[in-house]
Amino acid sequence: MIFLWPNIILIAASIFTIIFVNKIPKNIVIYDKPDNFRKIHSTPTPLLGGLIFYINISFNIIFFYNELDFDLRLTILLLLLYSFFFLIGFIDDKFSISPGKKTFTILVFLFLIIPLHEKLIVNDLTFKDLEQIIYLNKADIFFTIFCLYFFFNLINFSDGANGITTSLCIYWLTIFVIFGSLFSLFIYFLIIILIIILTFNLRNKIFLGNSGSSLLSIVFACLFIINYNIDKSIKCDEILLMMFLPALDSLRVTVERIIKGNSPFKPDMRHLHHLLLKHFDKNLVFIPYIILSSTPFLLSIFFNTMIIGISSLIFYFIIFFFLNKK
């Protein structure tokens, strides 16, 4: 409990910063300006979400690493990963990095850092409804980095409407609390700061920006992997069902872009949340999105994961075609 008060002060400072961001000189804060195409907000909005989350996650990972049963080496590596992804997102917000350069830089960094700790590497695949274990052997590092990079794109692709990304992360953290092994004040403080960011995001006071979405991607990808490596309390197929909708949506959009001869990273308005925006208020669209996203995992608690996966796949495309025709 010794770190309770510093956390409360940090959270209060975060709220204070958001409320009084207009008092900060414009050349210090990066603003996201509307473009009447994909950016549907009406006024320039500060990209503060990433910075606020970075400060809070860094403080918490340092002071709760013993409670989380993280050794010093893992804590340092996590801080390096968090700092790198926050920084590359911040630079992207400020100067707009090309997708190719960003991808190359991220992959090189991951290949340098991930092999340095066994808890960051997925060595095998276990499943809720299958007794067989798939051992990855020499492919483990390549598979892990593929998952990390895919998750990075999944989060970035989902960050296209108010509340989508932060509410997804709150949902995942709730699953960790109920079913996972990382049961700690660390998780609760992350939930609190994300709720604060979500609240002000829905009021168009702040956005995550690329710094925020990039940081959230590595934070949650590492949480999934570390929790899995501790005791496999949440199996591989369950993890896939937790992120089934945003993962499938990202994959569909990527394939569509490639088929049309476009870059898979070229922005468009074809994501599911863009289609939902035609039917829901921009500040409420996260609600149906989270309901749809959480359903596969919640059903898997009671039913076979493979059946739920196939059913969710069919249901997704029914929803997509229905929304696309409207």
Residue 65, pLDDT > 80, answer no
Evaluate whether residue 9 is within a structural domain.
Answer: no
Evaluate whether residue 3 is within a structural domain.
Answer: no
Closest by CA to 60, choosing from 221, 217, 219, is 219
Helix (H) or strand (E) holding 125: strand 124-125
Residue 140, pLDDT > 90, answer yes
Average pLDDT for 86-101:
92
Residue 2, pLDDT > 60, answer no
Instruction: Kindly calculate the radius of gyration of the chain based on its CA atoms and give it in whole angstroms.
Output: 19
Evaluate whether residue 187 is within a structural domain.
Answer: yes
Evaluate whether residue 79 is within a structural domain.
Answer: yes
pLDDT score for 19: 84
Evaluate whether residue 197 is within a structural domain.
Answer: yes
| Percent of the chain with pLDDT strictly greater than 90 | 60
Evaluate whether residue 19 is within a structural domain.
Answer: no
Alpha-carbon distance 19 to 24, whole Å?
11
Buried b (16+ CB within 10 A) or exposed e, 184-199: bbbbebbbbbbebbbe
For 138, which DSSP code? Answer: G
> If you count them, how many residues does the chain have?
326
Evaluate whether residue 27 is within a structural domain.
Answer: no
Evaluate whether residue 5 is within a structural domain.
Answer: no
pLDDT class for 118, splitting at 50, 70, 90? Answer: very high
| Start-to-end C-alpha separation, the chain | 53
For 114, which DSSP code? Answer: G
Asked whether 125 and 146 are in contact (CB, 8 A), the reply is no
* pLDDT tens-digit map of 182-206: 667 788 889 999 999 999 999 888 8
Structural domains in the chain (count): 1
Q: 3-state DSSP call for residue 282?
A: coil
Alpha-carbon distance 161 to 182, whole Å?
29
Provide the residue range defining the domain that includes 112.
47-325
